[in-house]
Amino acid sequence: MPLAILGIMGVISGPAVIIAWLKLRQRNRGPSLDASGSPVNARAKVNIPFGRSLTGTAKLPPGASRSLQDSYQRKSARRRFWFWGILVLIVAAAVTCYVLKTYVLAP
């Protein structure tokens, strides 16, 4: 029974797997590079050295520094974060005082 199920699955999905494998073998970066304005041949095949040259990491120039502050963040989001943070601290302090007064320091 399990072999019959595997056979049926192979018959149904086998052609799709073969077609996908053939299409992946013909992949290239030409259309995406052409869309970004790079003067690259549309039939450029991607191999390991070519792919490595496309994925280089940018380096900061000497004397430059990174800023970890999000300059595009909405100002109201920052205020909302501080409001809820302080509110949570106040509620936690009130609950702690109530528990200490009621259960720990009770006569």
- The predicted-structure confidence for 18-58, as pLDDT tens digits, reads as follows 888 888 777 666 666 666 666 655 566 667 777 777 777 77
Residue 69 lies in a domain: no
Same domain, 50 and 12: yes
- What are φ and ψ of residue 45, in 5° steps? -85, 145
Number of domains in the chain: 2
Q: Which pLDDT score, from 0 to 100, does residue 84 have?
A: 93
30 falls within a domain: yes
> Are 43 and 91 in the same domain?
no
Tens digit of each residue's pLDDT (9 = 90 or more) over 56-93: 777 888 998 888 887 777 777 778 888 999 999 999 99
Q: What single letter denotes the amino acid at residue 65? A: S
Asked if residue 47 and residue 10 are part of one domain, the reply reads yes
Identify the domain containing residue 47 by its residue range: 1-54
Identify whether the C-beta of residue 23 lies closer than 8 Å to the C-beta of residue 15.
no
Please state the pTM of the whole predicted model: 0.31
Q: Give the pLDDT score at 105.
A: 72
Asked if the structure places residue 103 within a domain, the reply is yes
Whether the CB-CB separation of 46 and 28 falls below 8 Å is answered with yes
